[in-house]
């Protein structure tokens, strides 16, 4: 989850690292994607820069809206080429209170490339009913509510990909539903609202000095929902390697592309320290 823009000299260097079944490619994502084999990826899970001014190391996260959208469409076109016909592309993105339209502007532009098969709300904090759970980042405003969710757009080529809904499901709260409704197991669909909180952190170092990490559980659920054993999982904005950690946990083969060498170093360290499946 980091930017993919750098000076020409930096773009020229492409380095590859293998940790178990996971591959990290240090380089510009467009250049790397153009060299990948067509229809070679089962699942794409990524969180690109949101164009809201976050402090990435190797990318200025503030372009004009049209420039940003054109860039994202170019990347999405390259991703479409490497995605299998029955593949899933999970795109995590968010707007801001002052600029809420950008995620929707982007997904409308992607309509020419993909079908929007599911729109999942990633809930990071929730109040039920007078208690609160999860990550809470207050907004100091008299106009706007605190933003407690982000978008997770599930894109496919034709909108007809079969999913393992129970693989990413949850147990029934009322166990009588299992027999009463003829279910074969204590499992139901998770639905399109996913409460996936962050682990509590107290400083940026615990987030690996990265401004846009997400919890490992989020890409893990995406891989489980797609439901292919030994899937090839791609994250073109790998950041500090969260999607590859999820791929490792699920027995998948991950490919992560990242332009920033410091984030690549962190991702390599996280993968080396993570248990193998």
Return the pLDDT at 139: 80
**Apex 165 CA angle, 161 and 170, nearest 5:** 165
Q: Considering its fold, how many domains does the chain have in total?
A: 1
Classify residue 148: in a domain, yes or no: yes
Return the pLDDT at 228: 96
- pLDDT greater than 50 at residue 22: yes
**Cα distances (angstroms) measured from residue 190 to each of 105, 169, 193:** 27, 5, 7
Adjacent-strand bridge partners of 93: 151
Lowest mean pLDDT among 134-148, 197-211, 259-273: 197-211
Classify residue 17: in a domain, yes or no: yes
Classify residue 74: in a domain, yes or no: yes
Return the pLDDT at 6: 43
By percentage, how much of the chain surpasses pLDDT 90? Answer: 72
Contacts of residue 257, defined as CB under 8 A and 6 or more positions apart, other chains included, come to 4, 25, 27, 29, 32, 33, 234, 235, 236, 237, 238
65 lies in which domain range?
A: 8-273
Q: Distance between CA 234 and CA 44 in Å, rounded?
A: 5
Classify residue 1: in a domain, yes or no: no
Q: Distance between CA 223 and CA 250 in Å, rounded?
A: 8
Return the pLDDT at 60: 59
- pLDDT greater than 60 at residue 203: no
- Report the CATH number that the domain containing residue 261 is assigned in CATH: 3.40.50.150
**Average pLDDT of the chain to the nearest whole number:** 88
Classify residue 3: in a domain, yes or no: no
Report residue 106's pLDDT band, with 50, 70 and 90 as the boundaries: very high
- pLDDT greater than 60 at residue 55: no
- pLDDT greater than 60 at residue 104: yes
Lowest mean pLDDT among 15-24, 33-42, 87-96, 200-209: 200-209
Only one residue has tokens 């178990």, namely 20
pTM: 0.88
Return the pLDDT at 201: 52
């Amino acid at each position: 989850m980091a930017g993919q823009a750098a000076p020409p000299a930096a773009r020229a260097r492409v380095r590859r690292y293998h940790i178990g079944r996971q591959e990290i490619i240090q380089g510009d994502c467009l250049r790397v994607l153009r060299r990948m084999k067509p229809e070679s990826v089962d699942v794409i899970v990524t969180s690109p820069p949101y164009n809201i001014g976050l402090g990435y190391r190797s990318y200025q996260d503030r372009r004009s809206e049209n420039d940003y959208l054109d860039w994202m469409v170019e990347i999405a076109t390259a991703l479409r080429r490497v995605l299998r016909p029955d593949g899933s592309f999970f795109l995590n993105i968010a707007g801001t209170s002052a600029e809420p339209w950008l995620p929707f502007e982007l997904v409308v532009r992607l309509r020419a490339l993909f079908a929007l098969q599911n729109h999942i709300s990633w809930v990071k904090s929730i109040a039920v009913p007078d208690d609160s759970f999860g990550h809470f980042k207050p907004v100091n405003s008299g106009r706007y509510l605190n933003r407690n969710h982000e978008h997770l757009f599930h894109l496919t080529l034709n909108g007809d990909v079969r999913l393992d809904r129970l693989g990413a499901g949850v147990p029934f709260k009322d166990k009588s539903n299992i027999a009463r409704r003829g279910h074969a197991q204590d499992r139901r669909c998770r639905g399109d609202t996913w409460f996936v909180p962050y682990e509590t952190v107290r400083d940026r170092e615990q987030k690996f000095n990265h401004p846009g990490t997400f919890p490992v559980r989020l890409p893990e659920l995406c891989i489980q929902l797609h439901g292919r054993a030994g899937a090839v999982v791609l994250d073109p904005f790998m950041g500090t390697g969260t999607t590859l950690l999820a791929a490792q946990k699920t027995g998948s083969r991950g490919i992560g592309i990242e332009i920033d060498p410091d984030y690549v170093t962190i991702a390599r360290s996280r993968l080396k320290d993570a248990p193998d499946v």
